[in-house]
């Protein structure tokens, strides 16, 4: 039997998009998966929508949190109960191309890679394409990742059999995914890119990621508080972060 993939999906007030997100998983050409949706105390119809789909989809699981604890805690709850050899992440408003799992797993198994990622596209709230994000590096080390988060969360996949154990996201407001990738890259040499556009990252008006000035604060927090870098080291990597940010968005279209 093909290896099981555990898909971790944090959800908070996603009634507009969650059904499409689930559909993009159900339509995968690779079918041996479990989708673990962890609801972070939604106040809209998100839970109702998921439960309705669950009645005809045994591979779908829902865990409800009593309090709103943030995306890191929510994802970590999903990681704890995941049973798959492969771990993947898909937020409740993002989408996958139908061959995402199949192509990425073949890429990993053929090369015996523990950690991979892919290219992806950005879409607006209505699903219109904004542009593609093509990673600058095909092989990413710990120091590369300090310069920029080359790995889109919706594209990341981890082989827990090769890695040997589960790892969890740091409980910080932003950059939780980058924090986890850094921890993994302290244990293995590199993450490897499959240069195919296999996901759709949705830009929402209320998304914290659209505020680039505010993101500088979170990036500094990651350097100083999480990775314990010196002020000089943090300034050095912050300059790289700014460089890659300008480069990424100048090449978006």
Residue 247, pLDDT score: 76
Residue 253, pLDDT score: 42
Residue 205, pLDDT score: 75
Residue 67, pLDDT score: 94
Q: What is the dihedral of CA 208, 209, 214, 216, to 10 degrees?
A: 150
Q: What is the dihedral of CA 34, 26, 28, 158, to 10 degrees?
A: -30
Rounded Cα distance, 181 and 142, in Å: 8
Residue 246, pLDDT score: 79
Cβ(159)–Cβ(178) below 8 Å:
no
Rounded Cα distance, 184 and 188, in Å: 6
Rounded Cα distance, 205 and 126, in Å: 11
Domains (range + CATH), the chain:
5-208 (3.90.550.10)
List the structure tokens of 126: 């209505």
Cα torsion 196, 148, 192, 162: sign: negative
Closest CA to 82 of 160, 177, 183: 160
List the structure tokens of 148: 């920029």
CB atoms within 10 A of CB 84: 20
Task: Sort residue 66 into left (φ over 0), alpha (ψ -120 to 50) or beta.
Answer: alpha
**pLDDT by 10-residue block (mean), the chain, 253 residues:** 96 97 98 98 98 97 96 96 98 98 98 98 94 92 96 98 96 92 97 98 71 80 95 96 79 49
Helix (H), strand (E) at residue 75: helix 71-81
Q: Which residues of 189-200 are buried (b: 16+ CB within 10 A; e: fewer)?
A: ebbbbbebbbbb
Residue 208, pLDDT score: 46
Residue 249, pLDDT score: 63
Residue 211, pLDDT score: 60
Residue with tokens 């949705």: 202
Number of helices (H), then strands (E), in the chain: 9, 10
């Amino acid at each position: 039997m093909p290896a099981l993939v555990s898909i971790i999906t944090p959800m908070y007030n996603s009634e507009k998009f969650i059904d499409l997100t689930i559909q993009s998983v159900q339509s995968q050409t690779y079918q041996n998966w479990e989708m673990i949706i962890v609801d972070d105390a939604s106040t809209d119809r998100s839970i109702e929508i998921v439960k309705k789909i669950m009645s005809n989809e045994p591979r779908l699981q829902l865990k409800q949190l009593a309090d709103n604890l943030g995306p890191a805690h929510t994802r970590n709850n999903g990681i704890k109960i995941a049973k798959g050899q492969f771990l993947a992440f898909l937020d409740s408003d993002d989408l996958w191309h139908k061959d995402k799992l199949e192509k990425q797993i073949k890429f990993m198994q053929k090369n015996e890679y523990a950690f991979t990622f892919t290219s992806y596209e950005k879409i607006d709230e209505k699903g219109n394409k904004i542009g593609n994000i093509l990673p600058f590096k095909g092989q990413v080390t710990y120091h590369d990742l300090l310069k920029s988060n080359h790995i889109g969360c919706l594209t990341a996949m981890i082989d827990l059999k090769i890695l040997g154990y589960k790892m969890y996201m740091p409980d910080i407001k932003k950059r939780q995914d980058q924090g986890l990738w850094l921890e993994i890259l302290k244990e293995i040499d590199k993450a490897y890119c499959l240069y195919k556009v296999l996901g759709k990252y949705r830009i929402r008006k209320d998304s914290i990621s659209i505020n680039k000035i505010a993101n500088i604060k979170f990036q500094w927090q990651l350097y100083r508080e999480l990775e314990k870098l010196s002020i000089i080291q943090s300034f050095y990597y912050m300059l790289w972060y700014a460089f890659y940010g300008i480069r990424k968005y100048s090449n978006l279209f």
